[in-house]
Amino acid sequence: MSPRAKLEDLAAELIDSGSREHYSDAALYDYEYRRRRADVTFYRQLAKDRLGNAGRILELGAGSGRVTIPLARDGHAVVAVDQMPPMLDRLRQRAAKLAPAVAGRITALSGELCTFTAPGPFPLAIAAFNVLEHLYTRGELDACLRRVAAHLAPGGAFAFDVQLPDLEWLVRDPTRRWAKTRFTDPTTGRAMFYSTNHDYDAVNQIVVIRLYYEPVDGKGPTKIVKLTQRKYFPAELEALVAHAGLRVVDRYGDFFWGELTAGAESQVLVCELANAPKPRRKSRAPR
């Protein structure tokens, strides 16, 4: 094997591990993002606007059910797709503690973003919290979007969010530790320090983030978890969506229906099939 081929294999292995490691500890994941609520509120409102009080929703990268369960409580039947067994197990455990009527509206399916199959069609599909940033090439994103399009009902919509690339953050010194925070591990009860750093490949637009978990008392090794993300710029993303047979009908810069601006943290897109009649409704005004 040539040195170039070895390097490519190493990069592929790094990307693959970075798409999985962050999701192997479902309890820690839930603890870290327990206060992330704005996107949940957004997708609940979008579902109400699109489906009324009850409808069928396909959710990609559903994880442990952070968005799934509130949607089911609202009356929607959610088919929750994820490729990580620990996250699906956590979702099923959480669903088992819900009222039977709510739990009965949740179907957890194992599947990958580019090849999933679900019992459609669906009037609404969603991919919340940067799920599509785990699609690292144009081909992978195209395959996923085409799978979504194949599962949409006539007039259906696909809504998702990804981060707006922050150039200043991307070029931070990768040798320093950032965002140092003290927390208590929800499983072990130990006091821990959390910090991060990252490397950014500007050609492939992939960032490899390292999450450090260190015991405060210094007793024990530091755990390093990799998280890889593909960064999508706005015009690029709109073109890729169009290439897959979808069109953007609404685009926001936050989860409060605000305009996408240079200072936004997220890109929130609502898409429909390109050959569907254009909606007569007006976009929701910023709140």
Per-residue confidence (pLDDT) for residue 278, from 0 to 100 = 73
The Cα–Cα gap between 206 and 183 comes to 28
CA 258, 262, 264, 265 dihedral sign is positive
Per-residue confidence (pLDDT) for residue 208, from 0 to 100 = 95
Per-residue confidence (pLDDT) for residue 276, from 0 to 100 = 78
On whether the pTM is more than 0.75, the answer is: yes
Q: Are 191 and 182 a contacting pair, CB within 8 Å?
A: yes
Per-residue confidence (pLDDT) for residue 135, from 0 to 100 = 96
* Structure letter (DSSP) for residue 159: E
Joined together, the tokens standing for residue 194 give 């959390």
Per-residue confidence (pLDDT) for residue 15, from 0 to 100 = 74
Per-residue confidence (pLDDT) for residue 7, from 0 to 100 = 43
List, for residues 201-250, the tens digit of each pLDDT value.
Answer: 999 999 999 999 999 999 999 999 999 999 999 999 999 999 999 999 99
Determine how many CB atoms are found less than 10 A away from the CB of residue 198: 18
Strand 122-127 and strand 178-184: the pairing is unpaired
CATH of the structural domain 36-164+233-273, one choice from 3.40.50.150, 1.10.1660.10, 3.40.50.300, 3.50.50.60 = 3.40.50.150
* Residues of the chain with confidence (pLDDT) below 50: 6-7, 10, 282
The Cα–Cα gap between 107 and 51 comes to 18
> Peptide bond before 121: cis, by omega within 30 degrees of 0?
yes
Domain boundaries, the chain: 36-164+233-273, 167-230
